Amino acid sequence: MFNSLSGRLLVLTTVFVMLAEVMIFVPSIARFREDYMLNRLERAQIASLTLLAEDMIEPELEEELLRNAEVFNVVLRRDEVRQLVLSSPMPRAISATYDLRDARAATLIRDALRRLVNPREEVVRVIGAPVREAGLLIEITMETAPMRAAMIDYGMRILALSAVISAVTAVLLFFAMRALLLKPIARVVTQMQNYAAAPEDARRIIKPSASVTELREAEEALNKLETELTQALRQKERLAQLGRAVSKISHDLRNILTSAQLFTDRIEASEDPTVKRMAPKLVASITRAVHLCESTLAFGRAEEPGPTLNVVPLMGIVEDVMEGERLAVGDYPLTLTTKIDPAMMIRADPEQMFRVLSNLVRNARQAIMATGEPGEVVLSAEEDRHAWRVEVSDTGPGLPKKAKDHLFKPFQGGARKGGSGLGLVIAAELVRGHGGELTLRETGPAGTLFRIELPKGDGTF
């Protein structure tokens, strides 16, 4: 019970209401004490009028008047003359004097609390102003025990009333909070559990209905989150299905390419000069296609093979990439430029690095050719004692917003119509396999620049 939100809310409400009642009780009990003493002053003044009217009264009548007023003595000051109007023997000496004419609230509260905690029977002097301006002041002596008993009785009644008010307020607030807050929260929790059981089912997505602003905002945020999660799960399933299909296609394509590779081996034996010149390129292209199919099959099994690192000349890989792209360019006014030291050696897997650079250069070439304008693609490299840096830049139109927002995300970051968005994903993964990083350095109307950074480790081979 008390570990639940409703139980704790009920307890806290009761405690806070009781604290509020205590804060009301303290000045209330002080006010009661003041009214009690003012009442005794008024009753003493009324009793003294009998003597003023008849001048002389019997001792028995005087005693009865004082007993009815619950005082021992009455002193009235009229016209600067202090006169003992009524008097009787006092059981003990006066212990304190209280002047109610100009008493401050703090003083009244302090004296009231002292009287409550002090059980001793005492006689006190009380000074006040006569009612209806019947003199300058009136002074009485009275016993404190009856006043303290009356204060305790009044306080107990106030505390009992406070307890009832606290209980009623707590119960009402409990049911109000249960209806306005606890039930909507429980509904949201139930919905979340229901959605978690089958997150692919769009019918289980929460529909905001709360009337409380904060709860409705929470439901709207949860609705957005569940909608995105459901879409992501559906896309994940589609990607898994597509991956299985691609794996099957790659398997059959590998077999076809393997057969083609056998035929190219025989073509290499031809004496035709043109065939001799083109055959090695054809063999290399088919070999790369076979390796790509094998890698795709491994990727579909989430087993992309790690790179086989060797120290190789970067220029050799770059020339193979550029030669293939020049064939694709044909007569289009596009310049392919390399700015690389022919002697630069890098530590990399040549097949995987060819795929990375081929993807980047091909993307740049296609972006420029899609505009119908002349352009240039530059492949450059540099190194220092920490890393090799290879950059591919172009003068194309820059990446569209969608491609930038979903960069390196499969099937989402395609920069051209009909593109799958896999090229950059594969390139980034291959670079990470080398311990490096592929980053987009800049893109805009002036062109795009990608950088590959491969670490040297300790700076030696």
Within-domain flag for 111: yes
Whether 446 and 320 map to the same domain: the answer is yes
Task: Give residue for tokens 């409703």.
Answer: 6
How are strands ordered across the β-sheet holding 387-394? 334-339, 375-383, 387-394, 447-455, 437-444
Shared domain for 129 and 40, answered yes or no, is: yes
Domain identity same for 62 and 14: yes
Helix residue ranges, H only, 144-182: 145-177
Whether residue 282 is contained in a domain is answered as no
SS3 call for 290: helix
Question: Do 161 and 224 sit in the same domain of this protein?
Answer: no
Asked if 157 and 232 sit in the same domain, the reply is: no
> What is the pLDDT at residue 373?
92
Is 9 in contact with 177 (CB distance < 8 Å)?
yes
Which residues lie across from 454 on neighbouring strands? 388
CB 438 within 8 A of CB 452: yes
Distance CA 180, CA 10 (A): 15
At a CB cut-off of 8 Å and minimum separation 6, what does 25 contact? 155, 158, 159, 162
80 and 148: one domain?
A: yes
Phi, psi of 87 (to 5 degrees): -150, 155
Query: N- to C-terminal Cα distance for the chain?
Result: 69
DSSP 302: T
> Rounded distance, CA 338 to CA 334, Å?
13
Residue 144 is assigned to a structural domain of this protein = yes
In whole angstroms, what is the distance from residue 317 CA to residue 350 CA? 7
Give me the pLDDT at residue 460, please: 44
Whether 94 and 150 share a structural domain: yes
Backbone phi and psi for residue 340, each to the nearest 5 degrees, phi listed first: -135, 140
Last-in-domain residue among 147, 170, 193: 170
CATH number at residue 406: 3.30.565.10
Cβ of 229: how many Cβ atoms within 10 Å?
14
Q: Residue 392: its pLDDT value, please?
A: 95
Q: Answer yes or no: are the C-beta atoms of 78 and 49 closer than 8 Å.
A: no
With respect to residue 198, please indicate whether it lies within any of the assigned structural domains.
no
pLDDT at 459: 43
For residue 342, being part of any structural domain is answered with: yes
Residue 72 DSSP code: S
Q: Are 447 and 363 in contact (CB under 8 A)?
A: no
Compute the Cα dihedral for 363, 367, 369, 370 and give only its sign: positive
- Tell me if 233 is assigned to some domain: yes
Residue 12 CB: number of other CB atoms within 10 A? 12
Report the domain count for the chain.
Answer: 3
Predicted TM-score (pTM) of the model is 0.43
Last residue of a domain, one of 123, 148, 170: 170
Residue pLDDT tens, the chain, 461 long = 556 666 777 777 777 777 777 788 888 889 998 998 888 888 887 777 665 555 555 666 666 767 777 788 888 776 665 666 667 777 888 888 888 888 888 888 898 888 888 888 888 888 888 876 666 788 888 888 889 999 999 988 888 887 787 778 777 877 887 777 778 888 888 888 888 888 877 778 888 887 778 788 888 888 888 888 888 877 777 666 666 666 556 655 655 565 565 566 666 666 677 766 676 766 677 666 666 665 555 555 544 567 888 999 999 999 989 988 888 888 899 999 999 999 999 999 998 999 899 989 988 998 999 888 999 999 999 999 899 999 999 999 988 887 787 787 765 545 554 444 567 888 888 898 898 999 999 998 989 999 999 998 754 44
Distance CA 225, CA 206 (A): 10
Give the pLDDT of residue 93. 87
In a domain, 260, yes or no: no
Task: Locate 417 and state its tokens.
Answer: 């119509």
In this structure, the answer to whether residues 101 and 46 fall within a common structural domain is yes
Domain span holding position 21:
5-170
Answer yes or no: do 207 and 141 share one domain: no
Tell me, yes or no, whether 418 and 316 share the same domain.
Answer: yes
